[in-house]
Structure 1
Amino acid sequence: MDGKKSSGTDPARSLALLWGSHTKPGRSGLTVRAIVDAAIGIADAEGLDALSMRHVAERLGVGTMSLYTHVPGKSELTDLMVDRAYGELYDDVGAPSAQPGGWRGAMEFVAVRNWELYRRHPWMLQIITARPVLGPNVSLKYEAELRPLDGIGLTDVEMDSVLTLILTHVEGTARVQASLDQVQQDTGMSETEWWLASAPVLDKVMDPSHFPVASRVGQAAGQAHQGASDPVHALTFGLARILDGVAALIAQR
């Protein structure tokens, strides 16, 4: 997927919009909330490439210029979309901490909720957010996900690093899954169907004597996953290894 830039060129304007009231209607009866909801609906159904201020206006049945009195442009709109989507993660800031299994169970919960969010809104994976969208829901997310790591023996920087490591892993596997979904949609062939068609041909052309380890491991993985990869397996396997490492770090203290 091609990445799209996020965050407006004017941080102050973007932050004011993110933290402002989204319920007060303008002269046209529009609200920022309605505009963002329409934009998310378009991105969910048609992808981020289909999103434009004009398309949002058409969906709302208003003139395009009326949108600009509420949202300055597409960059600010995508910031609002990201923040709104993250608001779906937790009903309460204490939700991750309330999970069974201590900090480890909480981090597993965090990983699954973020994975599910990307599955609902794959367009989020197309937005480049090297600089985070510092909206209220993003801030609430950060607070909720850090709390289970507080007081377990990690420094503040380590807490941030552990959370970043987990979320980066989730994003990476979700990105692979989204790519597989797109390929299946484009080709009409599932990953299992592709593997069943490819494996016999690969067995004939790939000489195991030249690639002994790759042949053995690739065949075992392919049979296990019924495809070249399994993002769900990668998610759970990688997350377990990350949490094992965090547990080892804590134990050293």
Structure 2
Amino acid sequence: MDSAGTAGSSIAGRVVLITGGGTGIGAAVAERFAAEGARVVVAGRRIGPLKEVAASIGGLAVEMDAADAESVKQGLATILAEHGRLDVLVANAGGHGFSSVGDTDDAAWEASLRANLTTAFVAARESLPALIESRGQIVVISSLAGLFAGPSVAGYTVGKHALIGLTRTLARDYGRHGVRVNAVCPGWVTTPMADAEMDEFAGHAGLESRAAAYAAVTADVPLGRPAAPSEIASIVRFLGSGESSYMTGSVLVADGGAHIVDLPTVAFDHAGM
């Protein structure tokens, strides 16, 4: 039976920490958990957006660099002093890494891995004592880039792939302690980071709008559209509740079906065959 209770589904009263909680998927996850009565903590390096999210949901904003152990320890101390426990960690913080291997210098490589991998590793490691005590959950936000390689995104792709390895090793080692760890791999989601990519892509491709860019990058996706952040938040909520009580080490793909497409046959589609 999951720690969420006999029904296994309620998240009311649970303490949820979301790294990178100020925008995009993180903010949507915060809203979803708060709507069901969870005590939500949004954390990140930019306190302004965090305070806005926290104010809108009645949560707590904590300025914290998820890749820095001392910063995470201080953040957790604040959370435990305020709420007395931690039930769910959503390791959502991430960053860029958009260049090929040959064009990625040492500083850019280290920065990308720090943003996309070290943030989850450090936040998870420092949260483990509290999560073991509560028999809690970790939800790692990876990406479709954690399963496949896009063009010239070396640091991002490697970091997101490594997050799946981190998910599995945490699940393997800490399942006996009652901690469940699962990952989510979203495809295109209409977040501020993706919006910026679409704006850049639209300029290069001669497209008239951001919407046209999203339509272009999802043209061969079975559902034919990007996800809204709230759609990913629903999956995270499931993994952070007792409804997923016998799942650990799992990787859930939420990409509109992109991963099932056989690329060599896409040309047949375009030819109307």
- Give the number of the structure whose residues are more often strand, by fraction: 2
* More helix as a share of residues: 1
TM-score normalised over the length of structure 2: 0.28
Larger Rg: 1
Question: Which TM-score applies when normalising by structure 1?
Answer: 0.29
